[in-house]
């Protein structure tokens, strides 16, 4: 996973989850789940919708979560208090940096 992208820099990385922060202190979390599918992970979400290649919804903590399968496994991204459109934009920048 990338150590930086856009205005975000890696803050911590643990157990397959990378937490990045930007200059405003906003957090962005990305996890990579080998062997998982978007469908399996989406079953845990509510208010599910699609935005391009992303499947987004709310988790049990009411956080915005978006899922996609860039490398045959699932990447889940999340932010606090951000609409899906903002999360998919940040997530897209993250995936571009991860190529």
| pLDDT of 71 higher than 80 | no
Q: Could you give the C-alpha distances from 37 to 27, 64, 67, in angstroms and in order?
A: 24, 18, 9
Computed over every residue of the chain, the mean pLDDT equals 92
Look at residue 78 in the predicted model and tell me its pLDDT: 93
The 10s digit of each residue's pLDDT in 19-65 is 999 999 999 999 988 888 999 999 999 999 998 899 999 999 999 99
72 DSSP 8-state letter: S
In which residue are the tokens 């990385």 written? Answer: 13
């Amino acid at each position: 996973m990338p150590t930086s992208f856009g205005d975000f820099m890696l803050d911590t990385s643990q157990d397959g989850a990378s937490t990045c922060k930007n200059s405003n202190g906003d957090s962005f979390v990305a996890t990579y789940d080998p062997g998982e599918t978007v469908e399996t992970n989406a079953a845990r979400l509510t208010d599910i919708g699609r935005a391009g290649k992303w499947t987004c919804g709310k988790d049990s903590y009411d956080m915005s979560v978006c899922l996609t399968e860039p490398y045959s496994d699932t990447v889940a991204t999340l932010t606090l208090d951000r609409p899906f459109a903002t999360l998919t934009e940040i997530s897209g920048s993250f995936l571009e940096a991860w190529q």
